With several copies, the nearest count.
Chain A
Amino acid sequence: MNASTRSSLPLWPAIRPIAGPLLGLLLVLGLFWFLEPDAFLSARNLRTVSVQTVIVGLGAIGMTFVIASGGIDLSIGSVIALASVVAAAVAKAGYDPMLCAMAGVATGAVCGLVNGLVIARLGVIPFIATLGMMGVARGVAKWLASEQKIDAPAGWLENLMSKAEDYRILGLPQAVWLTLLLAILLGLVLRHTVLGSHTLAIGSNEDTARLCGVRVGRTKIWIYVLCGIFGGLAGVMTFGRLTVGDPTTAIGEELDVIAAVVIGGASLAGGEGRIAGSILGALLMAFLANGCNLTGVPNYVQEILIGVIIVAAVAVDRYRHRTMEA
């Protein structure tokens, strides 16, 4: 790519790294637009899908950091459930929605902190550390909620996720804007701050990062705390959407979140990852589910499709890498 072609396509450098998931998304959009021309691309349906992307999208923002650092967080589904239960419990006790949200986010942060400490200080690999947390957080959530859901008034947290006209901003629900804002912010953090650069450095070559004086342990702890915070936030949004705190929510959600990040172009080997790509990955999966519903495709077909798409996305990406090198 030389300077002249670069200037003739001013957006290309920004788009190239996320070309894969973007193309995938456009394919899915095209397919369902063809099958269901009226409903699929209606403003109302776009709004619907945007809300459906919020929870996985928030999770994917945090997960992008973890995966870029060469780690993985299997506990995020359980953390979402635990945070939703904590937020609901606080709401039930009559506190302000703001406090509920903060409690939920703090819960996520604590889970992330424990993950980070176990990984960075005890040297347990992320897969195992977060697999453990997956059980622990889920168990604690059930325990706190006495093994049932907690009904509580969500207040304006409910409005955040609401598609009703009263609560929309520029046509989209508030939570969607919040997610977008956070995505842009964290995208900047990943690319343009020291924390982001260290995250990528650790994922790229941990020993090097250590030798260069990066505080690898401490950075990892921050990364998992960050992921926990986003898990907590997703939990709060889950509470807002369900208006109940549900200890059995988001079972298996970690795999959706990881799939979104991977479809978005991140490598589980670390060193790569883009928030924009992850959000596109989350959108792709949401549109796929939505399109399957609209066209009445049975769930098992959808399950098969998503499996195939995940593998195809990565296989195509690998192929692209290989041919680009040659």
Chain B
Amino acid sequence: GSGDAEGGSSEEAKYELAVIPKGTSHEFWKSVHSGARKAEMELPVSITWMGPSKEDDRIAQIEVVDNFISKGVDGIVISPLDDTALVPVLKEAKAEGIPVVVVDSGVNWDGYESFVATDNRQGGVVAARHLAELIGGEGKVMMMRYFEGSASTSKREIGFLDTIRDEFPKVEVVSGNQFGGATSDECYQTAENLLINHQEIDGIFCACEPTTFGMLRALQDSDRAGKVRFVGFDATDKLLEGLRAGEIDGLVLQDPFRMGELAVQRMVEHLEGKPVDKFVDTGVTVATQENVDTEAIRALWNVDFDKWLK
């Protein structure tokens, strides 16, 4: 196989796995990749990391899975872009004797061996509680959505809106239907426009990195950073900087590194005939100014890409 190019000693590489993220150009996926690489180094396995040829394109992801079925890999670890659209091709993989481990986002199919993920909805719930607490349980909040059709962020967004509605009747959502757009710069632009019209808000929530980043930049630029309570999602250097500076009041963090690592581990265990858990929750944590540099939180965001992805 071609796995020897990926490092690890080919002697040990008994299994050849395909790990298929939703896209490749994002820190989140770099972390997942790093985790997967860690498992690769420790276990008798070689992985091929291959995203859809078009970022966030369902058909392109199906084609990647197709291609790996053709190649005849020993297992597929995938973060499906769609809970339904990927089902036929995953079924096909299973029919071909290729086991599937699902990571990060779920599918409407239970033929997988294991599902390693964060409960996305829970991420929104946690964020809602944190934000509501910050603004004292009453006031106006705003949420900028990601782009149309992004399933995992939708779940977070719905989790957020539902929680606000059910648990905090005094909190009013003044804007929750505007999509930021697929890229950071589009999100930034939308955020600027939204902030102009919503001068009197107490809190903001964004459910993923690009929207959080865009909103942060827009707040900084209009001198409102730190004056509005702001809860975001995911961690990049820029967002952590904002958190430390008090411009962001909370970041909901997942554990992508562990997701990658656990997913590959589960797959190898399955291939070795061991029983594996059907669901593994890697959990969500809220990072705040106070706890961001503690050991536990640090592990979530401080993935050394250079070490793992060399």
A residues whose Cβ falls under 8 Å from a Cβ of B: 36, 39, 42, 44-45, 47-48, 51-52, 55, 142, 145-149, 151, 158, 162-164, 238, 241-244, 246-252, 289-290, 292-296, 298-300, 302-303
Contacts and interface: CB of A to CB of B under 8 A. Distances in A.
Given A249-B59, A251-B54, A163 B221 contact: yes
Nearest to B192: A48
Contacts, number: 204
Contacts of B179: 147, 299
B236 A299 contact: no
Contacts of A164: 92, 95, 221, 223
24 contacts: A45-B196, A52-B66, A52-B189, A147-B30, A147-B148, A148-B305, A149-B184, A163-B66, A241-B188, A243-B88, A244-B238, A248-B184, A249-B183, A289-B63, A289-B190, A293-B68, A293-B190, A293-B193, A294-B197, A296-B49, A296-B178, A298-B24, A299-B148, A299-B179
A300 B197 CA distance: 20
Interface centre among A145, A242, A243, by most chain B C-beta atoms within 10 angstroms, is A242
A152 to B, nearest CB: 9
Contact of B149 (A48, A162, A246): A246
Contacts of A151: 84, 236-238
A295 B58 contact: no
B27 A149 contact: yes
A238 B70 CA distance: 21
Given A142-B25, A247-B148, A295-B2, A44 B70 contact: yes
Interface centre among A164, A293, A303, by most chain B C-beta atoms within 10 angstroms, is A293
A21 B143 CA distance: 34
Interface string B166-207: 000000000101110111110011101110110000000000
A247 B149 contact: yes
Nearest to A55: B59
A242 B217 contact: yes
A298 B24 CA distance: 9
A248 B238 contact: no
Contact of A248 (B5, B64, B147, B237): B147
A242 B193 CA distance: 16
A295 B222 CA distance: 20
Contact of A302 (B53, B59, B68, B85): B53
A36 B197 contact: yes
A95 B90 CA distance: 27
Nearest to B52: A299
A279 to B, nearest CB: 18
B221 A149 contact: no
Interface string B126-143: 000000000000000000
A153 B1 CA distance: 38
B189 to A, nearest CB: 5
Given A148-B30, A158-B88, A293 B59 contact: no
B62 interface: yes
Contacts of A145: 25
A242 B222 contact: no
B82 A44 contact: no
Q: Which 4 A-B pairs have the closest CB atoms?
A: A293-B193, A45-B70, A242-B85, A248-B149
Contact of B84 (A163, A244, A250): A244
Contacts of B290: none
Given A151-B84, A248-B148, A241 B217 contact: yes
A313 B50 CA distance: 27
B2 A48 contact: no
A145 B181 CA distance: 17
A146 B148 CA distance: 9
Nearest to B95: A164
Given A149-B149, A241-B59, A293-B178, A248 B183 contact: yes
B69 interface: yes
B304 interface: no
A251 B81 CA distance: 15
Interface in B24-76: 24-27, 30, 48-59, 62-64, 66-72
A242 B58 CA distance: 8
B211 interface: no
Contact of B50 (A146, A250, A296): A296
B70 A242 contact: no
Nearest to B64: A293
A251 B183 contact: yes
A287 B53 CA distance: 13
B88 A52 contact: no
Given A249-B57, A290-B63, A290-B196, 18 more contacts: A48-B192, A145-B25, A146-B309, A147-B26, A148-B148, A151-B238, A158-B88, A163-B66, A242-B62, A243-B217, A243-B238, A248-B56, A248-B148, A248-B183, A249-B184, A290-B70, A293-B190, A296-B50
A164 B95 CA distance: 9
B265 interface: no
B120 interface: no
A289 B67 CA distance: 9
Contacts of A242: 58-59, 62, 82, 84-85, 184-185, 188, 213, 217
B154 interface: yes
A210 B82 CA distance: 50
B280 interface: no
B87 interface: yes
